[in-house]
Amino acid sequence: MMVLGREEAVEDGGLGVVRIAQLVGREKTQISRALKTLAESGFVERDPATLRYRLGWRLFTLAAHAGEQRLLSVAPPLLKRLVKNLGETAHLSVLQRTEVLTVLSESPPHVVQAAGWTGRTVPAYCTSSGRALLFDHDYDVLSELLSGVEFRKLGPNAVQDVEELYERIVDARTRGYALVDEESEPGLVAAAAPVRDFKGRIVAALNVSAPKFRLGGRLEDAGQEVKNTADELSTSLGFSPDPRPGVVDSSEPGG
């Protein structure tokens, strides 16, 4: 199946039996039988028009599950390093429709937590992690996603509508990381960056957040540190920054 992932196969929409046999150095009949078995299992599929074989749906499903498992196994040491470098709480979060769900958290020794944040959700529209998770949404998709959301003013600088949110997403996308300053809560600032999988899709976000008096003066530096760590995590999931995917269609998580 490796040959079907080569550039030649991708550009040509698949490979024929003869070409595959040439590339792997096997008899055509052997290759034909093997491909038939793989096709029955969904690991490859045959284009009925060109008769060429390409990678199948089951392989991509397995890859997606493997990516989720790898994300949760690779992220913890990177979160620990982020906490060590910045001295603030760090989170790994995912998007659950219009909210951000924290799946992993790491805190420095000086932070006293009354309750763990793993498994809790916060609004996407006013959090740094939410903004990072929405990087690839265009205006129409964003409007549809948030059509039923009430933009509550949880912090003095919170966005009031989709138009304002989209403007801040565009700014964050240009920068490479999202910054929020007293949007989800008075006195709280945060920075976040997206994590991409091998297909270039945003699958998670890394973020740090803390009281403004402690992190506010170094928020830009924190944003760059978070971005570098998120990029490293993306690379471990198989993401390559070229070509870039196009726009589609706190001590508290997200901050």
Q: What CA–CA distance (Å, rounded) separates 172 from 80? A: 24
Same domain, 179 and 78: yes
Same domain, 19 and 94: no
Residue 194, beta-bridge partner list: 205
- The secondary structure of the chain, three-state, reads CHHHHCHHHHHHCCECHHHHHHHHCCCHHHHHHHHHHHHHHCCEEECCCCCCEEECHHHHHHHHHHHHHHHHHHHHHHHHHHHHHHCCEEEEEEEECCEEEEEEEECCCCCCCCCCCCCCEEECCCCHHHHHHCCCECHHHHHHHCCCCCCCCCCCCCCCCHHHHHHHHHHHHHHCCEEEECCCCCCEEEEEEEEECCCCCEEEEEEEEEEHHHHHHHHHHHHHHHHHHHHHHHHHCCCCCCCCCCCECCCCCCC
Same domain, 191 and 119: yes
pLDDT of residue 145: 93
Please, what is the Cα angle at 115 between 113 and 119, to 5 degrees? 125
Same domain, 24 and 110: no
pLDDT of residue 114: 37
Same domain, 40 and 110: no
Residue 189 lies in a domain: yes
CATH of the domain at 26: 1.10.10.10
The residue among 55, 74, 93 that closes a domain is 55
- Across the range 20-47, mean pLDDT stands at 82
Residue 116 lies in a domain: yes
- Count of domains observed in the chain: 2
Confidence of residue 148 (pLDDT cuts 50, 70, 90): confident
Domain that holds residue 46: 2-55
pLDDT of residue 171: 95
Same domain, 107 and 208: yes
Average pLDDT taken over every residue of the chain: 83
205 has a pLDDT exceeding 70: yes
Q: What CA–CA distance (Å, rounded) separates 191 from 178? A: 6
Same domain, 27 and 98: no
Same domain, 10 and 101: no
Same domain, 41 and 69: no
Same domain, 114 and 223: yes
Same domain, 114 and 220: yes
Same domain, 193 and 131: yes
